[in-house]
């Protein structure tokens, strides 16, 4: 059987590409190793609780957000309920407790009141990040590559030209003296990266600008609703999705991608089958395409040279929680609360505290009971504690050590949460820990990352746009390609990839 497009993986990048291409009349085959669609954007049931794997909140949905047009086109907004979260985040550290609204006017007001001496810098901060967000989307996607080399380009994107090699850490140091203010603004850095001094200002600005511009949202019923809906578009348009099968090879003939070899995922590897397609889209991690899926040595070398040796982003540890009683009944008033240890006094310490022992590590608590989330029955509720984490701390552990470390992480983080929301520990009916190893198992992403390649200045913005497949008929749509990770990054990558295929 031959298809117009074969997609490897049903993460949001693969699903969005598949949905758009199916609606454009392309015959799509999608092959997914897991039993459900979504990759990081999934939910699973435990006892009474629908556990959300990877959505704390999705940004934007205002007119400055290119995702809005995509959602409208694909009917996402007519079929799913997006609930606006009550605030961007609450930041807590001994001596500082401040809630940052998810609109820039309100955020400016709150920050100016709390840090009056830094008024000028606060205004400049928002001016720059919002300008960068605007500039990045000012140039239509299909024109980026063409315009990059033209003399006119710098005039279209002046802020981007000046600041594309700047890190958030450097930027904040030029604006502010008050370290607490820098920490407040960097509270949710973990959404993107671990170290302010290597995090590109560009990506930070686009993502933060989107939260401040349009707000943060949760999808009622969880992210699986979005993944399932996108998958249904593919199937409703005569496309086919094969679950529980792994793509083992991208077939190359005369330098052109012509198909995939795949087999049933089981203890004893199933018989290998081949499907042929005019285009192959990899939602699978780029390093895996280079390292495993391309067996043709010429194609492998070509892609490896084009991509280069890039740094991979960090991973995430999640302690999923089911509560007998909603935390809001215990007095919690925030959807996202980010806790910094008292020893963390400057932005120079942030990276260290993303790597620290769990008794000191930076963590976020997401309380879905602040919304009508659809994740738990009446009177009960779901929450999650998340922290940045690293596969290297887990993958050399034996089975027992692994279990012990998970339990230690859960008990330490729950204990810290209980100090901040007294009594919450006693209301836990279910908990389970997802580690970088878990993310790797369900997505096959190297290092168990959910971030793709790290968003550092040398691999972001214009430099990332240049990562284009040098192999004819092979395309990429995922957190690993442009513009980067997150629900928004993966969705945009899928849509842009579909547009490129349609244009070709």
Ligand X SMILES: Cc1cc2nc3c(=O)[nH]c(=O)nc-3n(C[C@H](O)[C@H](O)[C@H](O)COP(=O)(O)OP(=O)(O)OC[C@H]3O[C@@H](n4cnc5c(N)ncnc54)[C@H](O)[C@@H]3O)c2cc1C
Q: In the complex with ligand X, which residue's Cβ is closer, 159 or 283?
A: 283
Q: How much of the chain is in helix, strand and coil states, percent to nearest 5?
A: 45, 25, 35
> Which residues, including other chains, have CB under 8 Å from residue 472's CB and lie 6 or more apart?
255, 256, 257
Binding to ligand X, residues 407-446 (CB under 6 A): 439, 443-445
Cross-strand partners of 124: none
CB 328 within 8 A of CB 423: no
Cβ nearer to ligand X, comparing 13 with 121? 13
Q: Which of residues 370-399 bind ligand X (CB under 6 A)?
A: 386
Rounded Cα–Cα distance for residues 486 and 10 (Å): 15
Stretch that binds ligand X, among 27-35, 160-168, 173-181, 422-430 (CB under 6 A): 27-35
Residue 21 lies near ligand X (rule: CB under 6 A): no
487 forms part of the interface with ligand X (CB under 6 A): yes
Q: Which is nearer to ligand X, 54 or 213 (CB)?
A: 54
What would the two tokens of residue 257 be?
């991608």
Nearer to ligand X, 32 or 341 (CB): 32
One residue of 13, 169, 215, 314 binding ligand X per CB under 6 A = 13
Task: Kindly state the smallest distance separating residue 502's Cβ from ligand X, in Å.
Answer: 19
Kindly indicate which of the ranges 7-15, 67-75, 197-205, 397-405 contains the residues binding ligand X, using the contact rule CB under 6 A.
Answer: 7-15
* Per CB under 6 A, 20 contacts ligand X: no
The least CB distance from residue 61 to ligand X, in Å, is 12
Selected from 31, 128, 258, 460, the binder of ligand X by CB under 6 A is 31
Instruction: Identify residues 238-277 at the interface with ligand X (CB under 6 A).
Output: 246-247
Q: Which residue's Cβ has the minimum distance to ligand X?
A: 11
Residue 274, token pair as written in the block: 């081949």
The stretch among 19-27, 32-40, 301-309, 354-362 that binds ligand X (CB under 6 A) is: 32-40
């999650």: which residue's tokens? Answer: 384
Binding mask 50-89 vs ligand X (x if CB under 6 A, - otherwise)?
A: ----xxxxx-------------------------------
Q: Among 490, 497, 498, 501, which residue sits at the site for ligand X (rule: CB under 6 A)?
A: 490
Residue 59 or 118: which CB sits closer to ligand X? 59
Q: In this complex, which beta carbon is closest to ligand X, that of residue 353 or of residue 487?
A: 487
**Shortest distance in whole angstroms from residue 386 CB to ligand X:** 6
Q: Which of 6, 7, 8, 74 binds ligand X (CB under 6 A)?
A: 8
- Residue carrying structure tokens 């215990």: 330
Least distance in angstroms from the C-beta of 233 to ligand X: 16
Question: SS3 for 343-393, per residue?
Answer: CCCCHHHHHHHHHCCCCCCCEEEEEHHHCCCCCCCCCCEEEEEEEEECHHH
**C-beta closer to ligand X: residue 23 or 34:** 34
Whether the CA torsion 390, 313, 469, 36 is positive or negative: it is positive
Q: Does 290 bind ligand X (CB under 6 A)?
A: no
Least Å from the CB of residue 479 to ligand X: 3
DSSP assignment of 405-449: HHHHHHHHHHHHHHHHSTTTGGGEEEEEEE-HHHHHHHH--GGGB
Closest listed residue to residue 360, CA positions, set 413, 419, 321: 413
Please state, in angstroms and rounded to a whole number, the distance separating the CA atoms of residues 311 and 63: 33
Of 58 and 362, CB closest to ligand X:
58
Q: Site for ligand X (CB under 6 A): which residue of 478, 492, 495, 501?
A: 478
Nearer to ligand X, 181 or 479 (CB): 479
DSSP string, 199-266: SBHHHHHHHHHHHHHH-EEEETT-THHHHHHHHHHHHHTT-EEE-SEEEEEEEEETTEEEEEEEEE-S
Between 115 and 451, CB nearer to ligand X: 451
315-354 residues in contact with ligand X (CB under 6 A) are 316, 318
CB 319 within 8 A of CB 413: yes
Among 41, 61, 428, 454, binds ligand X (CB under 6 A): 41
Output the six-digit token pair for 402. Answer: 């692994």
The window from 66-74, 117-125, 425-433, 482-490 that contacts ligand X (CB under 6 A) reads 482-490
**Alpha-carbon distance 445 to 450, whole Å?**
7
Cα 501 to Cα 19, 132, 177, 257, 487: the distances in Å are: 13, 28, 49, 13, 21
Which H, E and C letters describe 261-323, residue by residue?
EEEECCCCCCCCEEEEEEEEEECCCHHHHHHHHECCHHHHHHHHHHHCCCCECCEEEEEEEEE
Q: What tokens appear for 390 in the block? A: 């690293």
* Beta carbon of residue 41, minimum distance to ligand X (angstroms, whole number): 5
Reading the block at residue 412, the tokens are 């330490």
Residue 343: CB minimum distance to ligand X, A: 26
Among 5, 6, 7, 12, binds ligand X (CB under 6 A): 12
Number of residues that bind ligand X (CB under 6 A): 38
Rank residues 172 and 284 by Cβ distance to ligand X and give the closer one.
284
Interface residues toward ligand X, by CB under 6 A: 8-14, 31-34, 39-41, 54-58, 246-247, 283-284, 316, 318, 386, 439, 443-445, 450, 478-479, 485-488, 490
């Amino acid at each position: 059987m031959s298809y117009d497009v074969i997609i490897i993986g049903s993460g949001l990048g693969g699903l969005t590409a598949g949905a758009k291409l199916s609606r454009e009349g392309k015959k799509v085959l999608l092959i997914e190793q897991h039993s459900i669609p979504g990759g990081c954007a999934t939910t699973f049931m435990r006892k009474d609780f629908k556990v959300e794997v990877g959505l704390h909140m999705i940004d934007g949905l205002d007119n400055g957000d290119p995702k809005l047009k995509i959602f409208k086109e694909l009917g996402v907004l007519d079929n799913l309920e997006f609930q606006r979260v009550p605030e961007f985040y609450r930041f807590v550290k001994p001596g500082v407790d401040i809630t940052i609204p998810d609109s820039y006017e309100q955020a400016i007001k709150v920050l100016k009141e709390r840090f009056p001496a830094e008024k000028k810098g606060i205004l400049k901060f928002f001016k720059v990040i919002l300008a960068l967000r605007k500039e990045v989307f000012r140039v239509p996607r299909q024109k980026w590559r063409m315009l990059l080399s033209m003399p006119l380009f710098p005039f279209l994107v002046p802020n981007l030209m000046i600041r594309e090699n700047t890190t958030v850490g450097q930027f904040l140091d030029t604006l502010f003296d008050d370290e607490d203010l820098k920490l407040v603004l960097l509270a949710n850095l973990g959404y993107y990266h671990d170290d302010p001094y290597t995090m590109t200002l560009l990506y930070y600005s686009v993502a933060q600008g989107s939260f401040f511009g349009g707000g943060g949202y949760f999808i009622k019923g969880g992210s699986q609703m979005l993944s399932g809906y996108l998958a249904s578009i593919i199937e409703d348009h005569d496309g086919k999705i094969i679950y529980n099968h792994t793509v083992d090879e991208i077939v190359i003939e005369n330098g052109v991608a012509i198909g995939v070899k795949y087999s049933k995922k089981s203890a004893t590897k199933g018989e290998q089958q081949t499907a042929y397609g005019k285009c192959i889209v990899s939602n699978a991690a780029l390093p895996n395409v280079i390292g495993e899926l391309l067996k043709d040595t010429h194609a492998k070398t070509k892609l490896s040279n084009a991509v280069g040796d890039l740094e991979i982003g960090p991973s995430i540890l999640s302690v999923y929680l089911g509560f007998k009683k909603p935390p809001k009944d215990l007095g919690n008033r925030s959807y996202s609360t980010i806790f910094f240890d008292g020893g963390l006094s400057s932005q120079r310490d942030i990276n260290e505290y993303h790597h620290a022992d769990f008794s000191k590590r930076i963590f976020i608590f997401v309380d879905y009971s602040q919304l009508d989330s659809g994740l738990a029955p009446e009177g009960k509720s779901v929450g999650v504690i998340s922290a940045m984490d690293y596969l290297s701390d887990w993958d050399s552990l034996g089975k027992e050590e692994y279990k012990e470390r998970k339990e230690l992480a859960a008990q330490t983080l729950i204990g810290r949460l209980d100090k901040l929301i007294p009594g919450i520990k006693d209301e836990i009916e279910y908990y389970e820990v997802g580690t970088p190893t878990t993310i790797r198992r369900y997505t096959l992403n190297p290092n168990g990352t959910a971030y793709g390649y790290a968003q550092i200045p040398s691999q972001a913005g214009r430099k990332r746009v240049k990562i284009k497949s040098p192999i004819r008929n092979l395309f990429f749509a995922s957190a690993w390609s442009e513009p980067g990770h997150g629900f928004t990054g993966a969705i945009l990558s899928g849509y842009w990839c579909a547009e490129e295929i349609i244009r070709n």
